[in-house]
Amino acid sequence: MNRLKQLKPNDILSSTAVKSVISLLIALLIGGVILGVSGYNPLSCYGAIVKGSLLSPSALINTLVQMTPLMFTGLAFAFSSKSGLINLGMEGQMFLGGLAAAVVGGLDLGLPMIIHLPLTILSGMLAGGLYGLLAGLLKAKFGASEFIVTLMLNYVATFLCSYLANGPLREEGSLMAQTKTVLPSAQLPELVGGKNLTIALILGILLCVGIHLFLNKMALGYEIRAVGRNQIASETAGININKVTLTTMFVSGAVAGLAGVSMSLSGNNRFVDGATAGYGFNGVAIASLASHNPLAVILSSFVFGALRTGSLALSMTQRIQPEFADMIQALVILFVAMPALLTGLKIRKRRAK
Amino acid sequence: MGIESLLLTTLRMSIPLVIAAMGGIFATRSGMMAMGLESMMLFGAFGAVWCSYLTGNVFLGFLTGVLFGMVFGLTYAVLTIRFQVNQVIGGIALNLFTVACTTVLMQFVWGNAGNSPAVNSLEGSVNIGILAEIPVIGPVLSGMSINFYIAILLIAATTFVMFHTCFGLRLRMIGENPTAASTLGIKVRGYKYLAMLICGALAGFAGAYLSIDQLNMFSKDMIAGKGYIVVVMLALGKYNPVGAALAALLFGFSDALQINLQQMFSVPAQLVQMLPYIVTILVITFAVRHVKGPAGTGKLPEE
Amino acid sequence: MNSVEMKHIIKRYPLVTAVDDVDFCVESGEIHCLLGENGAGKTTLMKILYGMTMPDGGSILVNGQETDFRNPNDAIHSGLSMVHQHFQLVPVLSVAENVVVGQEGQAFFHFNKKKAVQEVQQLIERYGFHIDATKKVGELSVGEQQRVEIIKALYRKAKILILDEPTAVLTPQEVEELFVVMREMRSMGITIIIITHKLKEAVEISDHVSVMRDGKMIQSGIPTAQCTVESLANMMVGRQMSLSSTRRTKNKGDVVAELKNLTVVKKGKKVVDNVSFSIHAGEIFGIAGVEGNGQTELIEALTGLIRPESMSLKVDGKQLHGGANGFLRGGVGHVPENRNTRGLISQMTVAENMILGYHRTERFSKKGILNLGEIHAFAKQGIADYAIKVPNENELVSSLSGGNQQKVVISRVFSENPRFIVVAQPTRGVDVGAMEYIHDVLLNLRDAGAAILLISADLDEVIRLSDTLSVIYEGKLVSTTPADTLTELQIGQLMLTGSNEEVEER
Digit-coded pLDDT (tens) for B159-180? 999 999 999 999 999 999 999 9
Q: Which residues on C lie below 8 Å from A232 (Cβ)?
A: 341-342
Q: Which residue has the higher pLDDT, B52 or B132?
A: B52
Domain with CATH 3.40.50.300 in chain C: 2-237, 243-344+418-497
Q: Which residues on A lie below 8 Å from C326 (Cβ)?
A: 238
- In this structure, the strands spanning C160-164 and C191-196 are parallel
Q: Of the candidates C416, C422, C285, which has an alpha carbon nearest to the alpha carbon of residue C355? A: C416
Q: Which residues on C lie below 8 Å from A233 (Cβ)?
A: 341-345, 356
Of B86, B104, B232, nearest to A324 by CB-CB distance is: B104
Number of alpha carbons in the 13 Å side-chain half-sphere of residue B40: 39
A 10 A CB-CB count for B265 gives 9
Q: Of the candidates C145, C174, C170, C127, which has an alpha carbon nearest to the alpha carbon of residue C83? A: C145
- Structure confidence at residue A17 (pLDDT): 84
- Structure confidence at residue B128 (pLDDT): 67
CB contact under 8 A, C325 and A230: no
Tell me phi and psi for residue C307, to 5 degrees: -95, 110
Tell me phi and psi for residue C288, to 5 degrees: -100, 160
Mean pLDDT of chain A: 89
**Mean local confidence (pLDDT), A35-62:** 92
- Structure confidence at residue C506 (pLDDT): 36
CA dihedral C254, C259, C260, C262 (to 10 degrees): -170
**Per-residue confidence at C37, pLDDT binned at 50, 70, 90?**
confident
CA distance C272 to C323: 19
ipTM of the prediction: 0.91
Mutation site, A138, A141, A159, A317, interface B, largest B CB count within 10 A: A159
CB contact under 8 A, B92 and A324: no
Number of domains in chain B: 1
Q: Are B28 and B293 in contact (CB under 8 A)?
A: yes
With a CB cutoff of 8 Å and minimum separation 6, the contacts of A5 are: none
DSSP, collapsed to helix, strand or coil, labels residue C404 as helix
Least confident of B213-227, B264-278, C46-60, C357-371: B264-278
Closest-CA residue of chain C to A218: C369
Q: Is residue B252 part of a domain?
A: no
- Structure confidence at residue A347 (pLDDT): 45
Return residues 370-409 of C near A (CB < 8 Å). 370, 372
Q: Dump pLDDT digits (tens) for C137-188.
A: 988 877 888 999 999 999 988 999 999 988 866 666 678 889 999 999 999 9
CA distance B7 to A27: 47
CB contact under 8 A, B183 and C93: no
Where do runs of H (alpha helix) occur along C238-319? Answer: 295-302
**Per-residue pLDDT at C487 exceeds 60:** yes
**Per-residue pLDDT at B26 exceeds 80:** yes
Beta bridge partners of C313: C259
Of C343, C365, C368, nearest to A233 by CB-CB distance is: C343
CA distance C149 to C329: 47
**Per-residue confidence at C504, pLDDT binned at 50, 70, 90?**
very low
Q: Dump pLDDT digits (tens) for A132-177.
A: 999 999 999 999 999 899 999 999 999 999 999 998 889 888 888 8
Q: Are B243 and B236 in contact (CB under 8 A)?
A: yes
Q: Which helix (H) or strand (E) holds B22?
A: helix B3-29
Q: Which residues on A lie below 8 Å from C372 (Cβ)?
A: 217
Least confident of A116-130, A331-345, C208-222, C235-249: C235-249
- Structure confidence at residue A6 (pLDDT): 32
**Mean local confidence (pLDDT), A297-307:** 96
Mutation site, B85, B86, B223, interface A, largest A CB count within 10 A: B85
CA distance C71 to C73: 5
Of B169, B187, B303, nearest to C104 by CB-CB distance is: B169
> CB contact, 8 Å: C122 with chain A?
no
Most confident of B24-33, B140-149, C49-58, C159-168: B24-33
Q: Is residue B75 part of a domain?
A: yes
- Structure confidence at residue C501 (pLDDT): 66
With a CB cutoff of 8 Å and minimum separation 6, the contacts of A220 are: A214, A244, A247, C368
**Per-residue pLDDT at A345 exceeds 60:** no
Instruction: Return the percentage of chain A with pLDDT > 90, whole number.
Output: 76
CA distance C74 to C62: 12
- Specify the amino acid at residue C335: V
Mutation site, A212, A222, A231, A292, interface C, largest C CB count within 10 A: A222
CA distance A96 to A260: 7
A 10 A CB-CB count for C227 gives 21
The vertex-A288 CA angle with A283 and A289, nearest 5°, equals 100
CB contact under 8 A, A155 and B225: yes
Q: Which residues on C lie below 8 Å from B185 (Cβ)?
A: 71-73, 76-77, 102
Return residues 34-73 of B near A (CB < 8 Å). none
CB contact under 8 A, C348 and A225: yes
Instruction: Return the percentage of chain A with pLDDT > 70, whole number.
Output: 92
Of A222, A234, A240, nearest to C370 by CB-CB distance is: A222
Q: Which residues on B lie below 8 Å from C92 (Cβ)?
A: 176, 295
DSSP, collapsed to helix, strand or coil, labels residue C153 as helix
CA distance A284 to A75: 9
CA distances from A209 to A204, A218, A251, B105, C231 (A): 9, 13, 15, 39, 66
Q: Which residues on C lie below 8 Å from A234 (Cβ)?
A: 345, 356
DSSP A178: B
Angle between helices A323-336 and B87-110 (to 10 degrees): 150
**Per-residue pLDDT at B115 exceeds 50:** yes
CA distances from B109 to A66, B65, B86, B230, B277 (A): 28, 16, 33, 30, 32
Radius of gyration of chain C, Cα coordinates, nearest whole angstrom: 25
> CB contact, 8 Å: B266 with chain A?
no
CB contact under 8 A, A334 and B85: yes
CB contact under 8 A, A144 and B281: yes
**Of 3.40.50.1100, 3.40.190.10, 3.40.50.300, 2.160.20.70, which CATH number belongs to C243-344+418-497?**
3.40.50.300
Closest-CA residue of chain C to A238: C325
Most confident of B37-41, B146-150, C212-216: B37-41
Instruction: Return the percentage of chain C with pLDDT > 90, whole number.
Output: 54
CB contact under 8 A, A160 and B270: yes
CB contact under 8 A, B173 and C107: no
**Per-residue pLDDT at A298 exceeds 70:** yes
Q: Is residue B289 part of a domain?
A: no
> CB contact, 8 Å: C226 with chain A?
no
Give partners of B (≥3 CB pairs < 8 A). Answer: A, C
Q: Are A289 and A336 in contact (CB under 8 A)?
A: yes
**Per-residue pLDDT at A53 exceeds 90:** yes
Q: Which helix (H) or strand (E) holds C9?
A: strand C2-12
**Per-residue confidence at A296, pLDDT binned at 50, 70, 90?**
very high
CB contact under 8 A, B173 and C101: yes
- Structure confidence at residue C127 (pLDDT): 85
- Structure confidence at residue C505 (pLDDT): 41
CA distance A119 to A122: 5
Q: Dump pLDDT digits (tens) for A214-243.
A: 999 999 999 999 999 999 999 999 999 999
Beta bridge partners of C217: C212
CA distance C207 to C3: 14
Q: Is residue B268 part of a domain?
A: no
CA distance C356 to C368: 15
Q: Dump pLDDT digits (tens) for C101-143.
A: 988 777 778 888 899 999 999 999 988 888 999 999 988 877 8
CA distance A187 to A192: 14
- Structure confidence at residue A10 (pLDDT): 43
Q: Of the candidates B85, B98, B99, B96, which has an alpha carbon nearest to the alpha carbon of residue B33? A: B85
CA distance A24 to A18: 10
Q: Of the candidates C134, C107, C480, which has an alpha carbon nearest to the alpha carbon of residue C289? A: C480
Radius of gyration of chain B, Cα coordinates, nearest whole angstrom: 19
CA distance B113 to B107: 5
CA distance C442 to C247: 11
Beta bridge partners of C347: none
Domain boundaries, chain A: 65-306
CA distance A150 to A133: 10
CA distance C137 to chain B (A): 13
Angle between helices A219-229 and A57-82 (to 10 degrees): 70
CA distance C136 to C429: 35
Q: Dump pLDDT digits (tens) for C329-352.
A: 898 999 999 898 999 999 999 999
Q: Is residue B264 part of a domain?
A: no
> CB contact, 8 Å: C335 with chain A?
no
> Could you please report the per-residue DSSP string of A70-98?
HHHHHHHHHHHHHTT-----HHHHHHHHH
> CB contact, 8 Å: C427 with chain A?
no
Residue numbers of the domain that contains B43:
15-124+141-227
CB contact under 8 A, A218 and C325: no
Q: Which residues on A lie below 8 Å from B229 (Cβ)?
A: 152
Q: Which helix (H) or strand (E) holds C266?
A: strand C255-266
Q: Dump pLDDT digits (tens) for B231-274.
A: 999 999 999 999 999 999 999 999 898 888 888 877 888 888 99
- Structure confidence at residue A9 (pLDDT): 39
Number of alpha carbons in the 13 Å side-chain half-sphere of residue C34: 29
Where do runs of H (alpha helix) occur along B56-145? Answer: 58-77, 87-110, 129-132, 137-141
CA dihedral B52, B54, B57, B62 (to 10 degrees): -40
**Per-residue pLDDT at C458 exceeds 90:** no
- Specify the amino acid at residue A92: G
Count of all residues that appear for chain B in the document: 303
Q: Are C80 and C49 in contact (CB under 8 A)?
A: yes
Q: Dump pLDDT digits (tens) for C227-255.
A: 887 788 788 777 654 444 577 888 888 99
CB contact under 8 A, C325 and A225: no
* C2-237 topology per CATH: Rossmann fold (3.40.50)
CA distance A146 to chain C (A): 23
With a CB cutoff of 8 Å and minimum separation 6, the contacts of C245 are: none
**Per-residue confidence at A1, pLDDT binned at 50, 70, 90?**
very low
A 10 A CB-CB count for C501 gives 9
- Structure confidence at residue C392 (pLDDT): 87
CA distance C30 to C191: 5
Q: Considering only the C-alpha atoms of chain C, give the largest distance between any 2 of them, rounded to a whole number of Å.
A: 76
A 10 A CB-CB count for C241 gives 13
- Structure confidence at residue C119 (pLDDT): 93
Q: Are C161 and C191 in contact (CB under 8 A)?
A: yes
> CB contact, 8 Å: B232 with chain A?
yes
The two counts, helices (H) then strands (E), for chain C are 16, 22
**Per-residue pLDDT at A213 exceeds 90:** yes
Beta bridge partners of C19: C11
- Specify the amino acid at residue A207: L
A 10 A CB-CB count for B109 gives 19
Residues in B whose CB is inside 8 Å of some CB of C read: 164-170, 172-173, 176-177, 179-187, 295, 303
**Per-residue pLDDT at A2 exceeds 50:** no
Using the Cα atoms of residue C76, residue C81, residue C85 and residue C91 in order, give the sign of their dihedral: positive
Q: Is residue B202 part of a domain?
A: yes
What is the side-by-side order of every strand in the sheet holding C318-319? C269-280, C255-266, C310-315, C318-319
CB contact under 8 A, B100 and A326: yes
- Specify the amino acid at residue C366: K
Closest-CA residue of chain B to A162: B270
Q: Which residue has the higher pLDDT, B67 or C331?
A: B67
> CB contact, 8 Å: B278 with chain A?
yes
- Structure confidence at residue A267 (pLDDT): 87
CB contact under 8 A, A323 and B97: no
**Per-residue pLDDT at A322 exceeds 70:** yes
DSSP C281: T
